[in-house]
Amino acid sequence: MKLIVFCAVLLSSCATLSRSNGDSGGGPLPCVAKLTPCLSSLRSPENPPDVICCILLKSGLVDDVSCLCSLFRNEDLIRIGFNITQQDLVGLPPRCGLASPDLNTCDHAISRT
């Protein structure tokens, strides 16, 4: 039940923050929901990410990089919605055996959308 309430608050925060950042889509970043299996690992670095987290993260880095890049660059959402730092989020892919995202490449991916 707590997870459902957390997800509802998180998605509401995403919608509010994305509208305040001028996102024309008006909705939350769709990739945020994919990261919910990663929350325990993001909040407690001593907890290794589980397989589901890593699969969803890999899928997002391949299929929806602009969404993840928008999330990486939205420090307010990361801090308020997840209660983590940008460094915590950027450090997750290597913990799944994936390459760290290049935030300069993220800037290019965001500008194309």
Place of tokens 């928008």: 70
pTM: 0.67
Q: What is the Cα 36 distance to its own chain's centre?
A: 9
Predicted local confidence at residue 95, as pLDDT:
95
Q: Where are the domains of the chain?
A: 30-112
CA 85 vs. chain centroid, Å, equals 11
65 contacts: CB under 8 Å, gap ≥ 6? 106, 109
Q: How many CA atoms lie within 13 A of 49 on its CB side?
A: 24
Query: Which element (helix H / strand E) includes 12?
Result: helix 2-20
**What pLDDT, on the 0 to 100 scale, is given for residue 112?**
58
Residue numbers of the chain with a pLDDT score lower than 70:
1-28, 107-113
Sequence letter at residue 53: C
Give the separation between CA 99 and CA 53, rounded to whole angstroms.
15
pLDDT score recorded for residue 29: 79
